[in-house]
Structure 1
Amino acid sequence: MSDTLADAIDALLAPWADAMGADRTAYTHHVLRVLELCDLVAPPGTPRPSERTEFLVAAAFHDLGIWSAGTFDYLPPSVALAETHLRDTDAAALIPTVTAMIEHHHKLRHAGAADDPVEIFRRADAIDVELALLGRFGVPRRTYRALTRRYPDAGFHKRLLALAGQRLRTHPTSPLPMLEW
């Protein structure tokens, strides 16, 4: 993955730097790991996801509502941010795809065929969130470890656990609102 890609992600996330605070590096690295994992899980012959606008926008915005809206029920605010960005950059035609990618990235079952952008994104995010311990979708563990050396966790998973714990205390009947069967 090129420095240009990291620069593009930094630019997309820059408006929320203050809101992310100390979590900015952790989230940026998560986004970059997810994009690289998208490239790894995409079927052969699929255009490289990390070079496609819909993947860049979905990756940058998919969890951003945690910080922009201060909530662990972050899918609606994340979708709203992505839609605004796509409208502002004359890419409104991508709204349905990006919205689906964000809304279904924590779906527990398949979200489409293996070459569907929603399914590629879902698989990539699942690998990173689960630290490649459950499903790896063909990505070797050593490849994932190399990826985490390139883009260290920087406290991302610890932050997710803390947020999940807070949500459980305040919403015991809905501790993980982003999960979808």
Structure 2
Amino acid sequence: MHPVRYLQDHPASIARAVVMTVTVIYYQKQQGGIITAGSKSVTPSHITNKPTIDYIFTYIIGNKKTRQCAIYMNDTTSVINSLLLDELFAGYQEVLGEDYDAYRNHCLRVFNFCCSLARKREVDLDKIAIAVFFHDLGIWTEKSFDYLPASKLLARNYLEKKGKGEWQSEIETMIGEHHKLTRYKEHPEWLVELFRKADWIDMTGGLLRFKLKDDFVTDVLEAFPNAGFHRKLVQLAVERFKSHPLSPLPMMKL
């Protein structure tokens, strides 16, 4: 359907288009800020690109999931946050202890990178947020560096509780393959490969970028400081090597 014809047939939508255009232009002029994305809404607070007809049209006629993704599809240079990640982290602050900020910032960096890599797809951001939150969580819940089975189980239990069982296979694979050294090819329609790349961008401190814009990667790294996350991983790796010298990095795959 052509955008102009749609607006002619649905005059009430013109008002929404005007409101969205003014809102985007207004926020475009603001300094700093983070886009917030979650299961309920996406609120623009810093948009560097000019609003496009495609964006406005997508917002008007798109379903909830499309609206969640619209900002990403047209603006991949803004740092974003996640309401769902905030909700999930609130329940694990005691478990994470002094590593709370380190792991939270790691998750937010990976979330940003994965959303940007997925900019050409229509995806549900909650799926990325859930995979991000649980992907390394087993390190703390099981106090083990062989944490992937525990992380996948935590995600599975959460999805069952929330009635999202249809996401189970994809999210568990995202978690299980995120340290894979080579490309994941089995289900190209899944987010597994993009998630793997997003985690590697963060693990290399931005040395690997997979065609993401340099400024965007730098902005994400600055918005969510390392806070000792990689130092923690090195400490865990050393401890693992001492106790399991033949299997120092059990999460790695070819």
Question: Does TM, normalized by the shorter one, top 0.5?
Answer: yes
- What is the CA–CA distance in structure 1 between the aligned matches of 2:165 and 2:222, rounded to whole Å? 35
- What is the CA–CA distance in structure 1 between the aligned matches of 2:250 and 2:215, rounded to whole Å? 32
> Would you say the 8 A contact 2:115–2:128 is kept in 1?
no
Following superposition of structure 1 onto structure 2, how do residues 25-36 of structure 1 map, counting pairs within 5 Å? 25-36=101-112
Query: Which residue identity lines up with residue 41 of structure 1 in the other structure?
Result: L
Identity rate, percent? 36
Gapped runs of 5+ residues in structure 1? Answer: none
- What is the CA–CA distance in structure 2 between the aligned matches of 1:145 and 1:174, rounded to whole Å? 34
> Would you say the 8 A contact 1:38–1:120 is kept in 2?
yes
- What is the CA–CA distance in structure 1 between the aligned matches of 2:158 and 2:90, rounded to whole Å? 13
Give the aligned partner of residue 41 of structure 1.
Answer: 117
**3-state DSSP of counterpart to 2:92:** helix
Give the aligned partner of residue 81 of structure 1.
Answer: 154
Query: Which residue identity lines up with residue 21 of structure 1 in the other structure?
Result: G
- What is the CA–CA distance in structure 2 between the aligned matches of 1:116 and 1:6, rounded to whole Å? 21
Query: Which residue identity lines up with residue 97 of structure 1 in the other structure?
Result: E
TM-score by length of 2: 0.66
- What is the CA–CA distance in structure 2 between the aligned matches of 1:25 and 1:118, rounded to whole Å? 25
Structure showing greater Rg: 2
1:133-171 per-position Cα deviation (integer Å, ceiling 9, x unaligned): 2x2101234322211111111111111111111111111
Q: Which of the pair is proportionally richer in helix?
A: 1
The answer as to 2:68 corresponding to 1:11 is: no
Once superposed, what is the RMSD of the aligned Cα atoms?
A: 1.7
C-alpha displacement of 1:3: 7.1
2:97 to 21, 25, 36: 21
Structure 1 residues 80 and 163: CA distance shift in structure 2, 3 A: same
Following superposition of structure 1 onto structure 2, how do residues 60-79 of structure 1 map, counting pairs within 5 Å? 60-79=133-152
C-alpha displacement of 1:116: 3.4
The answer as to 2:168 corresponding to 1:95 is: yes
TM-score by length of 1: 0.90
> Would you say the 8 A contact 1:72–1:164 is kept in 2?
yes
1:132 to 191, 206, 209: 206
**3-state DSSP of counterpart to 2:91:** helix
The answer as to 2:76 corresponding to 1:2 is: no
In the comparison of the two structures, how many residue pairs are matched? Answer: 177
Deviates more, 1:138-147 or 1:61-70: 138-147
Which protein, 1 or 2, shows the higher relative CO under an 8 Å CA cutoff with sep ≥ 6?
1
